[in-house]
Amino acid sequence: MAKELRDKQLRSRVKLLGSLLGEVIETQVGKDILNAVEKLRKGYIKLHDNEDPALRAELKAFIEEQNPEDLILIIRAFNLYFSLVNLAEEEHQFHERQSQLKSDGPLWMGSVLNTIEEFKKDGLTADEVKTLIGKLNYIPVFTAHPTESKRRAVMDNLRRIFLTLGELNEAENYQNPYAQEEVIKKLQYQIQVLWRTDEVRRIKPTVEDEIRNGIYYFRQSLFAAIPTVYRYMERALARHYPDDNIPTPNFLTFGSWIGGDRDGNPFVTHKTTVNALLMQARAVLYEYEKRIFQLSSQLTQSRYLTEIKQEILNKTTIIDADLMELVFHKRSSRFIDEPYRRFLYLMRGRIQQNIAYVEAQLNDDPIEKSPFCYNSEEEFIDDLELIYESLCGHGDQEVADADLKDLIRLAQTFGFYLMRLDIRQESTVHTDAVSDLLSHLGINYEQLSEAERIDLLSKHISSPTIIDTQHLALNKMTKEVLEVFHVIRRMREEISPKAFNNYVISMTHEASHVMEVLFLAHQAGLAGYNAGEPYCKIRISPLFETIQDLEHIVPVTTALFDNPTYHALLKVSGNLQEIMLGYSDSAKDGGNLSSAWTLYQAQEQIMKLADEYGIDCRLFHGRGGTVGRGGGPTHNAILSQPTGTVRGQIKFTEQGEVLSYKYSNAETAMYEISLGVTGLMKASKCLVRETKEDDPEFLSTMQQLAKQGEHAFRELTDHTDGFFKFFYEATPVTEIGLLNIGSRPSHRKQGNLSKSSIRAIPWVFGWAQARLTFPAWYGTGTALANWSNNHGDKQLKDMYENWPFFRGLVSNIQMALFKTDLIIGKSYSELGTDQETAQKIYHMIADEHTRAVEANLNISGNEYLMAETPQIALSLMRRTPYLEPLNNIQVAILKRYKNPDLTDEEREVWVTPLLNSINAIAAGMRNTG
């Protein structure tokens, strides 16, 4: 009954927002456009319920007679509807969580409170819990991968509507009709502003724009959310282990690739990397300045009424005269009787000097660093903790545990760098740079064998001398590569030793690819030997992306661990080897089933290898937003990792629409981070308890399923003549590049339209637009059906019930199957110029979809797809009747746009409606790439 009431409330919200949008459309662009929208909306709802060829033909003709200007308005209407529905759902979910919190019930499924309670019920001792959470490190890494089609201006407007929906809830709770009327008026004009805001970028974003977008989420939500997440943990530990005083360590670290990921992006240079670090530093320093100022008005304790720590009294009286003048000007005795307040003013003055230095650097007008600047985040944290200890010392711990503790948590989490920047570059770039450098020593590096390369590189790294490049005629790219390493060294000193995380090598095929980066780091003084002692100020993460690379992960890593030079430098850098796994490229390469299984095996093998060598290993998961790129709910994804491979630490990429969905508001951010952290805690129980080994029969079955799935996937994508020609003709993949959603080109090699060249994001994005989401499930139906025909269903059902990995895989595939629409996909297939080939490919996809749905439902025991997640299914179903008109509009536009008989001027008029349609479909499906 309660669930029905909640669903009714949500439907009521969606209906209200829809009617307000209708009123805005009518007042802004007229009744005709509203009528056109309603005709399409109601018509496709009817078709969704009952197929009617005459009605379908009528709607198709109606779309084709619309001019480009009217189509733009119709598309925008549907697009805004999706945005408002998404918002209503997010606000509704938040409202439900708040209600649960107020009733002191469970915060949400998988919450920190529930997880600690589970640990207690399972008999974990306080020492075991302390050990487990002491090793936690949850590391989301923000990337600029272009999978978010919304502009920031649109997101800001949506955030305002989200907050206004909260106001409407309050007005309804107090049963105040006047207040409700006022809030609804407010909603209407906010929707009107949204209608007037362009949702499509007219100009391609620069890397600096992408950096700002990444920082946006910290100002918008994360500065507020992070301290609250820590409070959840403290509260949970105090409730379930009340007598044990288990400390809550810092377990959150945020990373970034934005401004550091130069793989295939010519716009990311060493200067861009410097800018990224400075912009991040500026953002976090301003946050500290604001919070210090707020604290200074709260901590007004008098030294005559309070036993304040002597060290603080000293720091507020023994002050450099110049600092005193800088902070207090002519009022040198200001707050002399309120030491905390005075001390905080001095701290704020010092932070302002840090800000001034960073601002000058960003404005290309560098100044000398003030002696009053904080030299490090540790120095800043020490001052904050001194105040904390003093407050606790005179009985004001409750005061200390409020805003001051929040600021300490932020400083411990974000330092002076905000996000730890990863650098990423493709392996051949390093090989070319090393080859160029060594050619000046008379060495032909390219002709050396792998063993000879490793031996040569090791000798150079071990040598105290470096190659003098000052007068060498090096290639332009070699100079740029070397400059990146010099930037790493310089910015570690200037911003923070923690400013950088790892150096990621994409397309790692050999151990020499890692040694090349170490060799180049040696040239910049980041690694090597000093007076015979090894030193290493850089950590390197090989990225294994394709199916073949993942299968070679053990021999490549073994060659590294066996190398004395590499082993010695790894040990002095912390003895932690990070290995990055590429989900999206492996899925594009061999299909989702083969990718998932190869990744599973690679994780088990690499952790076992690291254990044999006594090396700690952290896995870095390069997950996309969609299932076709390794996506899916983070909590479940962590729990479905191979047993014993998650040991307190996990690192994974977050991008595009995932960033927007998770971190656009503080409430959702708290929820998503808490779910991720609890998944990590549960998966890390192997740190304190013996874990059950995987069933060998399950592993054997999965091996066979993966082989058959990969064979079927490659049969379609690699061995079907005309497949890629069909892809570029039947989807808007080429036009996605015009959408201006990212600075990076859509192909690794421009002009090369092959599967190996196209990046995983446009690959998935293109098929998703055509509602043929096969990259996430193709091959699954064949593999599962063949197994069932030969061996029956018992084993597969047993795997689904008792193996989290397989259950998670099947559940994620269900969502992708649900999002496929074969009727709409058929319309896109008719865009192919060679219809015989086009229909052959379409029917291969359609037949596999049928097989996959039948097999999936049979194994899971569900009556329909996504029966176990009815809320998500309902959310997607709510959008379906609105997506159908958009897809049919897009097909009509593509027919015209791709018509070879059009002149460039005639084609140009269809560009804007086409881009708007891509944007709107992405919003409706809630993901892109």
pLDDT digits (tens, 9 = 90+) for 619-659: 999 875 443 334 456 777 788 888 889 999 999 998 766 78
pLDDT at residue 627 in the model = 36
Residues designated as active site: 145, 588
Q: Are 503 and 540 in contact (CB under 8 A)?
A: yes
- Whole-number Å distance between alpha carbons of 15 and 19: 6
DSSP 642: P
CA dihedral (793, 798, 800, 803) positive or negative: negative
| For residue 791, pLDDT beyond 60 | yes
Token pair 């890629």 is at which residue? Answer: 724
pTM for this predicted structure? 0.86
Q: Six-digit token pair at 259?
A: 């401004």
Query: Which residues on adjacent β-strands are paired with residue 654?
Result: 142
Q: Are 652 and 621 in contact (CB under 8 A)?
A: yes
Q: Are 139 and 677 in contact (CB under 8 A)?
A: no
Q: Rounded mean pLDDT of 32-37? A: 94
Torsion angle, CA of 523/525/527/532, rounded to 10 degrees?
110
pLDDT at residue 661 in the model = 77
pLDDT at residue 693 in the model = 85
More confident residue, 587 or 862: 862
CA dihedral (78, 84, 85, 90) positive or negative: positive
Could you give the percent of the chain with pLDDT greater than 70?
92
| For residue 147, pLDDT beyond 70 | no
The predicted-structure confidence for 10-23, as pLDDT tens digits, reads as follows 888 889 999 999 99
Q: Six-digit token pair at 132?
A: 């487990």
Report the SS3 class of residue 616. strand
CA distances from 47 to 10, 63, 207, 636 (A): 24, 15, 44, 36
Is the backbone of residue 48 left (phi > 0), alpha (psi -120 to 50) or beta? alpha
pLDDT at residue 744 in the model = 40
DSSP 738: G
Token pair 């609250």 is at which residue? Answer: 228
H/E run at residue 572: helix 564-572
Helices marked H in 650-695 = 656-663, 666-683
Q: Six-digit token pair at 606?
A: 């690499």
pLDDT at residue 762 in the model = 81
More confident residue, 145 or 389: 389
Exposed / middle / buried, residue 166 (Cβ in 10 Å: 0-12, 13-18, 19+) = middle
The predicted-structure confidence for 724-756, as pLDDT tens digits, reads as follows 999 999 999 888 767 655 444 444 444 445 565
| For residue 190, pLDDT beyond 90 | yes
Which range among 111-120, 379-388, 543-552, 735-744 has the greatest average pLDDT?
A: 379-388
Q: Six-digit token pair at 38?
A: 């309603």
pLDDT at residue 629 in the model = 38
The predicted-structure confidence for 820-869, as pLDDT tens digits, reads as follows 999 999 999 999 999 999 999 999 999 999 999 999 999 999 998 888 88
pLDDT at residue 928 in the model = 43
- Whole-number Å distance between alpha carbons of 304 and 11: 60
Q: Six-digit token pair at 110?
A: 């998988």
Exposed / middle / buried, residue 127 (Cβ in 10 Å: 0-12, 13-18, 19+) = exposed
Lowest mean pLDDT among 312-321, 493-502, 722-731, 742-751: 742-751
Query: Which residues on adjacent β-strands are paired with residue 139?
Result: 651
Q: Are 331 and 342 in contact (CB under 8 A)?
A: no
Give the count of beta carbons closer than 10 Å to the beta carbon of residue 437. Answer: 24
Exposed / middle / buried, residue 275 (Cβ in 10 Å: 0-12, 13-18, 19+) = middle
Exposed / middle / buried, residue 395 (Cβ in 10 Å: 0-12, 13-18, 19+) = exposed
The predicted-structure confidence for 501-548, as pLDDT tens digits, reads as follows 999 999 999 999 999 999 999 999 999 999 889 999 999 999 998 888
* Amino acid identity for residue 793 in this structure: D
pLDDT at residue 624 in the model = 52
| For residue 105, pLDDT beyond 60 | no
pLDDT at residue 490 in the model = 96
- Rounded to the nearest integer, the mean pLDDT of the chain is 89
Query: Which are the contacts of 790, defined by CB distance < 8 A and separation ≥ 6?
Result: none
Which range among 398-412, 723-737, 769-783, 804-818 has the greatest average pLDDT?
A: 398-412
Q: At what angle do helices 835-860 and 794-802 cross, to 10 degrees?
A: 70
| For residue 230, pLDDT beyond 80 | yes
- Whole-number Å distance between alpha carbons of 506 and 262: 10
Q: Six-digit token pair at 855?
A: 């097999």
Nearest one of 915, 916, 910, 912 to 896, comparing CA atoms: 910
pLDDT at residue 847 in the model = 97
Q: Rounded mean pLDDT of 416-423? A: 98
The pLDDT confidence band at residue 294, using thresholds 50, 70 and 90, is: very high
| For residue 445, pLDDT beyond 80 | yes
CA distances from 803 to 623, 644, 694 (A): 21, 14, 8
Q: Pairing relation of β-strands 137-143 and 420-426?
A: unpaired
The pLDDT confidence band at residue 107, using thresholds 50, 70 and 90, is: very low
